[in-house]
């Protein structure tokens, strides 16, 4: 498949780019500084700015799927959704956040007392992004939320999937590596199971 990813030089984006290349997809890897994108087979680095809706739409056009892997506070969800619609891509996938996941019915993680203050604005914006996507009638979107801790790690290929509830392991820890998150996202692209839905991945 032909897949384009904005934010390809980031911690999640670079792993997603590598996972897609590993599986033999043709990837257009987009970043403000394309020289930071690792050289990989069938990966073409392109310069792009997520604030330039028309420019991003042009870069995404002609692909089977487009992914945005960018910080919520460093981008405008409306522009990203607009670019996805203008580009005509078959699918639009978003690297989401954990803050909008529920810890009890109707209670988002970001609203709980123990949520780290330094991540609250970012997490709140991510929830707003998801709410905007849920209002879309035409766009074929998918929003993948990591678990609470999104960290450097290993590619094990062993994880659990959920929907809107925060996943926690037997020891109470909620976490996923960037590498296994990338596996889950690539699986979803190859075998669609969450069209116009949010889902989550964790151990």
Confidence (pLDDT) at 92: 98
Per 3-state DSSP, the chain is made up of helix, strand and coil in percentages (nearest 5) of 35, 25, 40
pLDDT attached to residue 107? 96
Whole-model pTM: value is 0.97
Contact in structure between 31 and 47 (CB atoms under 8 Å): yes
Are 108 and 198 in contact by the 8 Å Cβ rule? The answer is no
pLDDT digits (tens, 9 = 90+) for 31-41: 999 999 999 99
Higher-pLDDT residue of 196 and 114 is 196
């Amino acid at each position: 498949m032909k897949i384009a990813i904005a934010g390809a030089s980031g911690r999640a984006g670079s792993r997603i780019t590598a996972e897609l290349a590993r599986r033999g997809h043709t990837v257009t890897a987009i970043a403000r500084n394309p020289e930071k994108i690792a050289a990989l087979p069938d990966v073409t680095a392109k310069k792009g700015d997520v604030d330039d809706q028309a420019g991003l739409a042009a870069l995404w056009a002609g692909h089977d799927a487009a992914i945005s892997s960018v910080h919520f506070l460093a981008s405008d969800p409306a522009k990203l959704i607009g670019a996805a619609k203008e580009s005509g891509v078959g699918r639009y996938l978003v690297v989401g956040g954990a803050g909008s996941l529920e810890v009890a019915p109707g209670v988002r993680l970001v609203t709980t007392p123990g949520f780290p203050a330094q991540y609250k604005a970012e997490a709140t914006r991510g929830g707003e992004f998801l709410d905007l996507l849920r209002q879309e009638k035409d766009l074929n979107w998918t929003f993948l939320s990591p678990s609470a801790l999104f960290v450097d790690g290993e590619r094990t290929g062993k994880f659990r999937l959920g929907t809107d509830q925060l996943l926690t392991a037997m020891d109470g820890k909620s976490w996923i590596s960037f590498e296994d998150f990338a596996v889950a996202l690539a699986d979803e692209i190859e075998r669609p199971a969450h069209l116009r839905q949010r889902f989550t991945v964790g151990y």
